[in-house]
Structure 1
Amino acid sequence: LDLDLEVLADHGTVVVYAPEPEPPPIPVQRLMARNLRTHFMLVYTIGPRAQEDAVRGITAALEDGALTPLPTVWFPLHEVAAAHEAVEGGVLGKVVLGLPE
């Protein structure tokens, strides 16, 4: 897996899709050093036309600056139930549980 990690901000997300029969090598230490997340996507269920359309759409959104970071909603660890309810309720953004400092 040849990742140009310089295009990602710290705490960004790498989407991995690998059509090969072998699992892709993941540079775990490089991802961890930048607090990057990985998201695995199954693309074999998507037709070639839909894949090409998705690539064009994502490329256009990136070029237009339309993809912006999601808001982060923080909950203290002792409010884990409230965080779970926020996710189930469709909160916009990332839900993060924090430890007290």
Structure 2
Amino acid sequence: MKKLIILLFAIPFLLIGCRASLPVAQESGKEDIAYLLFVSSNEYAGKNVVVKVDNNVPFTAKVVKNSKANRRGYQYGIAVGTRNLTVSYNGKNIYQKKIFVSTQEVKQIILP
């Protein structure tokens, strides 16, 4: 009898402890921003390039070597969506393309 009473009180507590938090598919806390990572195999690796996104104020970005890009690199935040990207080095355009980036995506820009 004593075991039955303990079991009747223990079952509701076990069921409450196993309850799933709802809604499960909801994500929160992610910033609405994407990232650019500039990669080059030889010529521009380790150098600074000038980056212009949608004709806004240009900024300087450091280029990492292609083999080290997965482990470390400098990521630069931009707004999500379709962006016009221009990369130049010593006044010469070396990369110009329209890109699409989504939230929390790290887009590798592969330079020659």
TM class by shorter-chain length? under 0.3
Larger radius of gyration: 2
Which of the pair has the greater relative contact order for Cα pairs under 8 Å at 6+ separation? 2
- For normalisation by structure 1, the TM-score amounts to 0.25
Greater strand share, 1 or 2?
Answer: 2
